[in-house]
Amino acid sequence: MRFTVKERERRFQAVRSRMQAAGLDALLVFGSTSVGGQWNGNFTYLSDYSPIFATALLVFPLEGSPAMFVPGENQWLDAKRASWIEDTRLSGRPIADACRHLKALHPALSRAGVSSLDALPAGAFAHLEEQLPHAAFAEAAPAVVAARGAKSGEELDVARRGARVADAGWARGLEVIRAGMTERRLFAEMEAVMTAEGAAGYFDMLGAGRGEGEEDPFRGFVVPPADRAFREGDLALLEITPRVGGYWNQIVRLASFGKPPASAQRAHDACVEAKHAALRHMKPGEPLAAMARAAREVLEKRGYAMKDFGSVHTTGLDLSELIIMTATEGHVEPGMLITLHPMISTGDWRQLFVGETYAVTQTGCEALNRCGEAIAVVDR
């Protein structure tokens, strides 16, 4: 168990109060091994467990003890060791077994929530309707997502540990990166350090190189690292994203093999200035959209168009829990984890963004990552 019983009860109470308000007798929560999508984070939030493979299912009643159904003997043993759900069952057919459990738990079940209908396979939903014909099923992911928004002290401690791991990965990258090294080798070096420090998953991406015959030396759309070797004159945009204790941390940094071109330096400096403008609005009570608007204003003054989707997002058990754009409603709350990396287009099929993850405090924000934000110049 990563978190305490006190933390478990805090989460259960927060979700059940929302279930009661929505008139839900029970909640079916699906979990998978995917990186994104709030349905996966919802499962981990209520079970303190991340599935190893396939799909697991949690039956979370309004009253009484939850039950978790997991496939595979090894995953069942792992779940019993790591999760705080005492009723953890080995199941080759989680949907069918969950339906039988719900029938026994609520013979007259009338309304159940599902997290999430958007991700539920059609066959699974058909089975639910067949086995529980008198029950209505509602989309209930928001009942858990809303509870997850403001992180507890225990969650923030895990997030700080994740930031230290990401910083260690970037530091290792600066030690070894050189012309002639392949992209895969660089990330293997960084991930070896981060794994040793506790990372148990990655969403590491990279944009690197230059188009043949082009003056602009940078194609910055980030993709998984490949076998391409870095060359003198390259730029490399590194998106370093480890998952530690179930929680994601993200650093985005730019490296230049030799002195960076003036155009790249200007674009980088604009992103950094935009980030600091947005940070002034990362405090309790501020509109969420104010961060994106402040960043966009700086970038437009510098002559760049900001990519609204993805420049700011909340982070936690899912990498992007809420994408914050210039029209997003809601306000900044203490305990939020926010990844801020203003993103611009630097030409056709090119982009640049720079930033990291922050925790919102009672009065402002805390920078979780400690690595410098300047372009790293590689001279070897």
Please, are residues 187 and 169 in contact by the beta-carbon 8 Å criterion? no
Among 87-96, 127-136, 232-241, the range scoring the smallest mean pLDDT is 127-136
Q: Based on the domain organization, do 292 and 144 belong to the same domain?
A: no
Q: Based on the domain organization, do 114 and 135 belong to the same domain?
A: yes
Domain boundary among 148, 173, 192: 148
The DSSP secondary structure of 274-336, one letter per residue, reads HHHHHHTT-STTSBHHHHHHHHHHHHHHTT--B-STTSEEE-SSSS-SEEE-TT--SB--TT-
Domain boundary among 130, 148, 166: 148
Among 210-214, 334-338, 344-348, the range scoring the smallest mean pLDDT is 210-214
Q: Based on the domain organization, do 125 and 230 belong to the same domain?
A: no
Q: Based on the domain organization, do 122 and 234 belong to the same domain?
A: no
Predicted TM-score (pTM) of the model is: 0.92
**Cα–Cα distance list, 208 to 167, 191, 217, 226 (Å):** 20, 18, 9, 10
Q: Based on the domain organization, do 115 and 200 belong to the same domain?
A: no
Domain with 48 in it: 5-148
Domain boundary among 148, 163, 194: 148
Each residue's pLDDT tens digit, 344-373: 987 766 789 999 999 999 999 999 999 999
Q: Based on the domain organization, do 142 and 159 belong to the same domain?
A: no
Q: Based on the domain organization, do 198 and 322 belong to the same domain?
A: yes
Q: Based on the domain organization, do 140 and 157 belong to the same domain?
A: no
Each residue's pLDDT tens digit, 76-101: 999 999 999 999 999 999 889 998 99
Q: Based on the domain organization, do 50 and 98 belong to the same domain?
A: yes
Question: Regarding predicted confidence, which is higher, 106 or 293?
Answer: 293
CATH number of the domain at 141, please: 3.40.350.10
Q: For the chain, give the mean pLDDT.
A: 91
Please count the structural domains in the chain: 2
H or E element: which one contains 17?
helix 5-22
